Structure 1
C-alpha cells in the first residue's frame, strides 16, 4: 500500500514551507504526500518537480467549513471556489480534491440535506468535466473533532456518491473518523463497494500515529485489502514523536 503522509501535520521539522516538507518526506523514503490547503503553490510545484513526489489529495476548502447558501439561491461563489481549487490541483499534479458536507441546511430533513448535497456535487462534477480531477466526499466524526457536521456516517456519504453517479466522484474513508463514530470497518467498506476513492488513517483514541492507540492495525489493514482497496493511504495524524519515527509502526504492519 502506498503511504502518503499529510505534510500539514508531518515533517514540520523541515519548517513551515510545504515545499520543504515535501523534500523532507522524499528524503524519508516517501513517493507521495497529501496536504490540506492549496497554499505555497510555487514552492510545492518546485518540490514536486525536483523530487517526483506526487500530491495524492488536497482539500477544496481549508478549513473545511463548507456552508452552502439556502436551497434555491445562488451557489456561484461556491462553484467558483471549486473551479479555483481544480486549477490549483492540476498545477501541482494532484488527482483528487476532498469535499466537506458542512453543517447542512437548517429546517431540512436529513434526507433532504443529502439530496441537496448530491445536487450541488453533481453540478461540481459536470462543470469540471475534462479537468481530470476527481472528488472524494469525507464523512467526519461529530463525537470528538467536528461537532455539528452533517455527514458523520459513512453510509450517508455513500448515498450521496451513488446519487451523484460519476466515476469521478466517490468517498474518502477515514478509519479514524469511522472508528470514533463506532462504525464497523468491514460493514462500511462492503456497503461502499468501489466508491471508496481514498483512505486516511490515524489511531484511536487520540488521533496519533499508528501504534499510539488501541487499533489492531494488522486486522484493519487486512480488512482494507480484503475490500479490494489498492489506492494510497493518507497518514493524517498528529505525531507524538519525530515524523520519520512516527511511521515506523505502520510501515512494519503494512509489510
Structure 2
C-alpha cells in the first residue's frame, strides 16, 4: 500500500488512453471526474491514419471542459495500439509529423495544456540510425519551438526494451541526451525528460539514481507498478520511497497514472490513492 504522507506532497493526473478504456473516449473525462480526478492526459487519441476534423477536436475539448477536467498532456500523432512508438525519427512520416505539430499544439493551447509528448520512433530496417537521429533532432526542434509559442514544454520519453525492442531510447541517459541536444538547437530550454518509472524499472535502471541525477530535467513523471503495469501496490516498486525521493529532489510537477487496472475495471484501481488526494493541486 502506498504511503499517504508521501503521496500527499504530489499532484496527480490520470491517463485516459490506458484508464477508463472500457468507455468511449468522450465519456472518459466525466468518469475521471466522478472518481475524484481534476486533471488528465492522453496519448494521440485520433489514430495515426486519421486527421481529426474541427468537429472532432471541438467534441474532445467539450468533453474535458464539461467534466471540469484539465487536459495536462497530450502526445503528437502516433498509434501505440499498432506498435508505433512515435514518428519524429521516421523518414516516411516526416510530413505527417510536421503537419500534426500545429494540430496537437493548437489543441493544447485551446485547453491550457502545458506538455506535449513526442515519442522518438522505432529504428527502421535499412535506414542509417544517424539519418534517423538527424531527422529526429530537426523535428523535435520544430516541435519545441511550437510548444514554446503556447507556453508548453516538449517531452522526450524513454521506453522499455522488452515491450519496444526497436525503440532506441531505452535509458534515462539516452533520453536526457536528446533533451539536451534539442535545447542546444533551439536555445529555449523547454525540452524536458518524461520520466516514466515503469519503463525505467523494466529496463533495470536504478530509479533512485535516476531521480538524483536528472530530476532537474524532468518535465513529467508517470507511474505503474512492475512487472505487469498495474496500479501501485500490485508489484515490486516502493512508491512510498519513490514519492519521497521525488519530493526531496525538488520535483514539483504532476505524476501521471499510466497503468492498466489489475482487475480490468478502472474505477476499482484507485484504492491506493485516497480520494482527497486525487484532485490536482
Instruction: Flag whether TM exceeds 0.5 (same fold).
Output: yes
Aligned-partner Cα distance in 1 for 2:146–2:112: 19
| 1:87-145: CA deviation from partner (whole Å, max 9, x where unpaired) | 12223332211111112463336xx86565334312322355422232101110012x2
The residue aligned with 1:217 is 239
Deviation at 1:86, TM superposition (A): 0.9
RMSD, aligned α-carbons: 2.5
Gaps of 5+ in 2: 1-9, 47-55, 80-84
Match among 203, 210, 218 for residue 188 of structure 1? 210
Query: Which residue is equivalent to 1:28?
Result: 35
Q: Could you say what secondary structure the match of 2:160 adopts?
A: coil
State whether structure 2 residue 58 is matched by structure 1 residue 42: yes
Shift of 1:47: 2.6
* Structure 1 residues 78 and 45, CA gap change in structure 2 (3 angstroms): closer
Distance 1:194 1:116, change over 3 A: farther
- Residue 248 of structure 1: how far off its partner (Å): 1.4
Q: Which of 65, 68, 76 is residue 89 of structure 2 equivalent to?
A: 68
- Please give the alpha-carbon distance, in whole angstroms, between the structure 2 residues aligned to 1:69 and 1:184: 30
Moved over 6 A (4+): none
1:209 to 1:9, Cα distance in 2 relative to 1, 3 A:
same
In the TM superposition, what is the alpha-carbon distance from 1:200 to its structure 2 partner?
0.5
Contact in 2 for aligned 1:176/1:204 (Cα 8 Å): yes
* Structure 2 equivalent of residue 53 of structure 1: 69
Q: Distance in 2 between matches of 1:187 and 1:26?
A: 35
Q: Which sits farther off after the overlay, 171-180 or 76-85?
A: 76-85
If asked which structure has higher relative contact order (CA below 8 Å, sep 6+), I would say 2
In structure 2, relative to structure 1, the CA distance for the partners of 1:74 and 1:248 (3 Å cut) is: closer
The question of 1:5 aligning with 2:14 is answered yes
Match of 2:271 in 1: 248
More divergent stretch after superposition (230-239 vs 126-135): 126-135
Alignment of 1:1-255 (within 5 A): 1-13=10-22, 15-16=23-24, 18-39=25-46, 40-63=56-79, 64-66=85-87, 68-70=89-91, 75-104=94-123, 106-108=127-129, 117-143=136-162, 145-165=163-183, 166-241=188-263, 242-251=265-274
Q: 1:76 to 1:41 in 2, by over 3 A?
A: closer
CA deviation after TM superposition for structure 1 residue 23, in Å: 0.7
The runs of 5 or more residues in structure 1 that have no matched partner are none
What's the TM-score once normalised by structure 1's chain length?
Answer: 0.86
